[in-house]
Amino acid sequence: MPSGAAGAGDASGVAGRASAGGASGGASTTATAPLPRWINGWRDFTESWYFAPLTGFALTIAALAELAPGTRTPISVAGGFAVASTLPLVWRREYLRPVAAVALAAFAASLLTGQEVLITTVLAALYTLYALARQLPRQSAGALAVGSVATVAVVYLATDTLGDVPWPAAVVAVLAAIGLGDARRTVERAGRTEAAAEERNNETLTRLNAVQREQAVMRERARIARELHDVVAHSVSMIAVQAETAPYTMESLSPEAREGYTEIARTAREALVEMRRLLGVLRADAGAEAESAPQPRLDRLPELVDQHQGAGGRADLVVQGQPRALSTTVELSAYRIVQEALTNARRHAPGADVHIELTYLPDRLAVRVRDEGAEARTVVLNRADTPGRTAALEPENAPSGGGHGLLGMKERATMLGGRFSAGHAESGGFVVEAELPLTREDPARDPGTPH
């Protein structure tokens, strides 16, 4: 194989391996059948460093052997032309163009001087044309074709060396060799372009996945910062305020007790400062999401229902049991569960009636949200924790506050040691149910969170 052919073959092999590597990495969806073992062995052989010298010497020996049975001996003018037409192919990998010039010129000279036509030298000349066209650009390959056809025409007009070969067959053979080389070059270039494009796509996907993971981490950090601020900061601030006001409301306190309350207040203030410093770190990359506004509680459920109705939905709220102040975490979780359920109802059952039930039990708070359903429902997700039931799968970019659809609701409930289920209701529609255990202490309701 000529050096250009070998070089292009190397590029083709690299492109093929890159394409296969992309497919195995998951970036490509095209599956190809494995090649037979002998094809892979032949490809490795043609890409080896010793392929060109070995085949070049073999062609030279074959040309001399072809002369031996004839009337001329290898040590003759015909033998010299045969060697000059084949032996340079030993160095075709490194110096294709000079080698092609020497080999083709020697073959043309042998034809013009009326030397015996050898099958070996004809094959070597056609192969040289093929290899040269495989390396040259399209315009240069066209010029090579014109020059080769002109040379064939001169040989037929000036000599009778190719008298036994019809001139159309000679022209077709020359053009076919050059055309095959040009076609192979086009295929190899397309393979290299496809491999490069696939590599760029893989790099783009890798960067995109990294950005998405980073954004997910940033969103989670912002969510943690908000919840810590609104839950923990409120409680710590209440401890500090009560510890500071206790000496003024209880006149009978001993000096030791007053000093103890002062120490409690000081420690609470220090803890609050340290916690806010930590929240500042968490919010560093959170952007606009790092606001410190207080999280909603159950007294804002009527506003949530009004918002749902303003968006074209229909909902009603029923409160059973004796309402009382609950811990901030329980109220926030219940509010978010109702919010997520209403968001799912608007998305998956637009216009359906939604019934919200809030039940205060002695040891827990029960939340139930059921919509009447719609004809078109989304894809369902089987949940292992609710056998025999299915739940609508909400997209991760749902514009709800603080969760990822049903998974976010479940996490809020299980975080408190409660239970959660979601699925199609027996009477139609979709139902979300959660039970949130109450904490041992129920702090008094506070309208806002101190900052």
The string of DSSP letters for 142-189 reads: HHHHHHHHHHHHHHHHH--TTTTS-HHHHHHHHHHHHHHHHHHHHHHH
The Cα-based distances of 393 to 179, 255, 342, 409 in angstroms read: 57, 61, 14, 12
pLDDT band of residue 201 (cuts 50, 70, 90) is: very high
Q: What is the pLDDT of residue 38?
A: 67
Query: Which one is predicted more confidently, 136 or 401?
Result: 136
Q: What is the pLDDT of residue 247?
A: 79
Query: Which one is predicted more confidently, 447 or 160?
Result: 160
By DSSP bridging, strand 364-371 and strand 353-360 are antiparallel
What CA–CA distance (Å, rounded) separates 314 from 300?
Answer: 17
Contact at 8 Å (CB) between 85 and 63?
yes
pLDDT band of residue 392 (cuts 50, 70, 90) is: very low
pLDDT of residue 361 exceeding 90, the answer is yes
pLDDT band of residue 318 (cuts 50, 70, 90) is: very high
pLDDT of residue 396 exceeding 80, the answer is no
* pLDDT, mean of residues 175-202: 89
Q: What is the pLDDT of residue 398?
A: 36
pLDDT averaged over every residue in the chain: 75
* pLDDT, mean of residues 135-154: 88
The separation between CA 278 and the C-alpha centre of its own chain, rounded to angstroms, equals 34
Contact at 8 Å (CB) between 433 and 378?
no
Could you read off the pLDDT of 157-171 as tens digits, one per residue?
888 888 788 888 889
pLDDT band of residue 42 (cuts 50, 70, 90) is: low
Could you read off the pLDDT of 248-285 as tens digits, one per residue?
778 787 888 888 888 888 888 788 777 777 776 666 65
List the single range of 16-25, 85-94, 309-318, 417-426 with lowest mean pLDDT.
Answer: 16-25
Could you read off the pLDDT of 64-113 as tens digits, one per residue?
888 777 656 667 787 888 888 888 888 888 888 888 899 888 888 888 88
What CA–CA distance (Å, rounded) separates 339 from 369?
Answer: 10
* pLDDT, mean of residues 37-45: 67
**φ/ψ of residue 159, rounded to 5:** -135, 175
Query: Which one is predicted more confidently, 57 or 69?
Result: 57
Residue 431, SS3 per DSSP: strand
**φ/ψ of residue 170, rounded to 5:** -65, -45
Q: Residue 98: which residues within 8 A CB-CB, separation 6 or more?
A: 88
Contact at 8 Å (CB) between 422 and 391?
yes
Long-range residue pairs from 23-30, CB within 8 A, at least 24 positions apart, any chain: 25/202, 27/198, 27/201, 27/202, 27/205, 28/198
pLDDT of residue 369 exceeding 90, the answer is yes
pLDDT of residue 234 exceeding 60, the answer is yes
pLDDT of residue 435 exceeding 90, the answer is yes
Could you read off the pLDDT of 343-358 as tens digits, one per residue?
888 778 887 889 999 9
Q: What is the pLDDT of residue 431?
A: 92
Question: CB neighbours (10 Å) of residue 228?
Answer: 15
What CA–CA distance (Å, rounded) separates 16 from 44?
Answer: 13
Q: What is the pLDDT of residue 355?
A: 93
Q: What proportion of the chain, given as a percentage, has pLDDT over 90?
A: 12
Contact at 8 Å (CB) between 410 and 385?
yes
What CA–CA distance (Å, rounded) separates 243 from 6?
Answer: 86
pLDDT of residue 4 exceeding 50, the answer is no
Q: What is the pLDDT of residue 71?
A: 55
Q: What is the pLDDT of residue 6?
A: 42
pLDDT of residue 406 exceeding 70, the answer is yes
pLDDT band of residue 231 (cuts 50, 70, 90) is: low
pLDDT of residue 29 exceeding 50, the answer is no
pLDDT band of residue 304 (cuts 50, 70, 90) is: confident
The Cα-based distances of 222 to 235, 287, 291, 401, 411 in angstroms read: 20, 8, 8, 12, 17
Q: How many CA atoms lie within 13 A of 213 on its CB side?
A: 6
pLDDT of residue 445 exceeding 60, the answer is no
